[in-house]
Amino acid sequence: MMQINDPILTVDRVSKRFDVSAPWLNRVLEGKPRLLVNAVNEVSFTIARGSCFSIVGESGCGKSTVARLVTGLYATSGGDIRFGRGAEGRPVRVQMIFQDPHSSLNPRWRIGDIIAEPIREMKLRRNEAETNSRVEELLQTVGLAADDARKFPHEFSGGQRQRISIARALACEPELLVCDEPTSALDVSVQAQILNLMRRLQQELGLTYLFISHDLSVVRHMSDMIAVMYLGRIVEMAPVESLFNQPLHPYSQLLLNTIPDIHAPKRARCVDNGEPPSPLNPPSGCAFHPRCALATDACREAVPPLRDLSDGHKAACLLAG
């Protein structure tokens, strides 16, 4: 198994259960049972300092719940989340970049105040002059003008607003950025600009990313490691080239097959046998078996463990390897 010497984040058998039952009175009067959804099931991974770890999967697979568990927006139902040390031995600072830059910026605040807020709250600069100069520096770092500090969020395009979100996240000098679909609300050409900016910032500032996306093609050029999630579990985890060159789980193969290829627009594609099942009523055994062309009776009986099949390449499939 691949060892990581200096992990910035260790997620150890973490689970998250949500109670989605009807109100107590309705349950009593209508005889409805309690309903629990296991959004995340015993998920484990480690992120090396300075790397980009991506989690990919369809909507509802639990990837955004993992992001919220890591940032503390949700409490875990089980398992452990541990951080390494931050700069100068202090606790690691974690910041989140959200999917929708429009709703994550206060429309009544000027950009300068939005970015300055964490600097003031955490007393990262000695006075207002230093805070303002730091805000200008951050705006220029993300490709905006220092004068933009006086404007309001509605005066910017979607891509510019995501740049502002990144500047605000950088304002508190974090080591770990959790990016939840940061480009999925943007046009394709703007997506590429934001991804290039994020890669440049990672190199210049030594940042670590936990990157969440539904699109394997988006994370390919960002990631060092990729985990593929399906119905609350990691079904494959591998270094990026290993996953793209030799996907071992049929679900990863399906995701890779859906990436458009400009050089082979008419290539044969494997057929997707339907939609993901409801997490309220997950299939027995391997949750992917209703969609898997290779499924056998054994696949319906027990959940396949995530096995290390070659150096650092793991898959949870009875037939893989």
Least distance (Å) between residue 272 CB and ligand SF4? 13
Q: Kindly state the tokens that stand for 145.
A: 């003008």
The C-alpha atoms of residue 33 and residue 26 are separated, in whole angstroms, by 10
Nearer to ligand SF4, 228 or 317 (CB): 317
Min separation Cβ 313 and ligand SF4, Å = 15
Nearer to ligand SF4, 114 or 317 (CB): 317
Contact by Cβ (8 Å): 159, 194: yes
Which parts of this chain interact with ligand SF4 (CB under 6 A)? 249-250, 286, 288-289, 292, 294-295, 299, 304, 317-319
For residues 209 and 293, give the distance between their C-alpha atoms in angstroms, rounded to a whole number: 34
CA distance 78 to 66: 12
Q: How far is the CB of 57 from ligand SF4 (least distance, A)?
A: 14
Q: Report the distance separating Cα 105 and Cα 24, nearest Å.
A: 37
Residue 75 vs 293, nearer CB to ligand SF4: 293
Nearest distance from residue 235's CB to ligand SF4, in Å? 7
Nearer to ligand SF4, 37 or 318 (CB): 318
CB under 8 Å to 140, separation ≥6 — which residues? 146
Q: How far is the CB of 318 from ligand SF4 (least distance, A)?
A: 4
Kindly provide the b/e burial profile for residues 82-99, where b requires at least 16 CB atoms within 10 angstroms of the residue's own CB. ebbebeeeeebbbbbbbb
Q: What is the DSSP letter of 146?
A: G
Dihedral, CA of residue 242, residue 248, residue 252 and residue 256, to nearest 10: 60
- Closest contact distance (angstroms) between CB of 319 and ligand SF4 is 4
Query: Of 168, 169, 161, 163, whose CA–CA distance to 95 is shortest?
Result: 169
Rounded Cα–Cα distance for residues 36 and 21 (Å): 7
One-letter amino acid for residue 268 of the chain: A
CB of 317 to ligand SF4, least distance (A): 3
The Cα–Cα gap between 230 and 238 comes to: 15
Nearer to ligand SF4, 145 or 270 (CB): 270
Our CB check for ligand SF4 shows the closer of 283 and 312 to be: 283
Which pair of tokens denotes residue 64? 């955004």
Whole-number minimum distance, CB 282 to ligand SF4, in Å? 13
Between CA 101 and CA 99 the distance in angstroms is 6
Half-sphere exposure at residue 320, Cβ-oriented, CA atoms within 13 angstroms: 26
| Residue 219 C-beta: closest distance to ligand SF4, Å | 21
Question: Nearer to ligand SF4 by C-beta: 209 or 230?
Answer: 230
Report the C-alpha gap between 248 and 308 in whole angstroms. 11
Looking at the Cβ atoms of 139 and 295, the one nearer to ligand SF4 is: 295
Q: Which is nearer to ligand SF4, 61 or 295 (CB)?
A: 295
